[in-house]
């Protein structure tokens, strides 16, 4: 994909690694669990609509954000769960707002019954970061300290 290089492997312990993306001046692993709902929690994502929304979300992201990656997507009858990898150069709110806006327009264009009734999506969304667990981070920091101490000892020899 344009915008990011081949993922790098970061050693976070003696036998643990994490895959990170690399761009100019940054290495990152930023994944977000995002949930958004139709206005009034309407049960609109029935068979056919659900599949169309799944395809649309993928293409919407690729059209605008080449380096944003949809890791998982689950469309329920009355809400959407997504695991999205978003580089630090983009605001999560911008990416989610864009997805909601474009998918609403495309769904209304494709399905006549969605054209009336005001907004398709409810205002706002839920977001939570997903990443390396706390214990793994603590071990990584300890490992780095030992690593640096060993290099300092070698430099003094």
Going residue by residue through the chain (157 aa), what tens digit of pLDDT does each one get? 455 456 666 555 555 666 778 888 888 888 899 999 999 999 999 999 999 999 999 999 999 999 999 999 999 999 999 999 999 999 999 999 999 999 999 999 999 888 887 899 999 999 999 876 666 666 666 666 565 555 545 455 4
Condensed to tens digits (0 to 9), the pLDDT of residues 39-70 reads 999 999 999 999 999 999 999 999 999 999 99
Q: Which two tokens stand for residue 54?
A: 């799944």
For 30-130, CATH number?
3.30.70.1290
State which H helix or E strand residue 121 sits in: none
Residue 98 designated active-site: no
Crossing angle of helices 92-110/49-64, nearest 10°? 130
Which residue is listed with tokens 């169309």?
52
36 Cβ contact list (under 8 Å, min separation 6): 79, 80, 96, 100, 121, 122, 124, 125, 126
pLDDT of residue 1: 46
Q: Where are the domains of the chain?
A: 30-130
pLDDT of residue 133: 67
Query: Distance between CA atoms of 79 and 30, rounded to whole angstroms?
Result: 23
Q: Given the residues 52, 98, 140, 143, select the one marked as catalytic.
A: 140
Distance (Å) of CA 113 to CA 41, 44, 48, 84 = 16, 9, 13, 29
Among 20, 25, 24, which Cα is nearest to 8's? 20
Can you point out the beta strands (E) in 25-145? 26-28, 31-36, 69-75, 80-85, 126-130
Task: Label residue 157 exposed, middle or buried (CB < 10 Å: 0-12, 13-18, 19+).
Answer: exposed
State which H helix or E strand residue 39 sits in: none
Considering the entire predicted model, what is its pTM? 0.76
**Residues forming beta bridges with residue 5, ordered by sequence position:** none
């Amino acid at each position: 994909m344009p915008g990011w290089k081949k993922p790098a492997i970061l050693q976070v312990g003696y036998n643990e690694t994490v895959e990170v993306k690399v761009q100019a001046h940054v290495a990152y692993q930023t994944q977000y669990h995002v949930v958004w709902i139709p206005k009034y929690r309407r049960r609109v994502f029935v068979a056919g609509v659900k599949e169309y929304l799944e395809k649309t979300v993928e293409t919407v992201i690729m059209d605008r954000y080449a380096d944003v990656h949809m890791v998982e997507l689950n469309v329920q009858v009355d809400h959407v769960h997504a695991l999205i990898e978003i580089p630090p150069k983009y605001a999560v709110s911008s990416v989610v707002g864009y997805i909601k806006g474009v998918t609403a327009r495309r769904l209304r264009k494709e399905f006549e019954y969605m054209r009336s009734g005001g907004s398709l999506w409810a205002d706002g969304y839920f977001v939570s970061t997903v990443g390396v667990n706390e214990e793994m981070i603590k071990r990584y920091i300890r490992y780095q300290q030992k690593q640096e101490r060993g290099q300092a000892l070698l430099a003094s020899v």
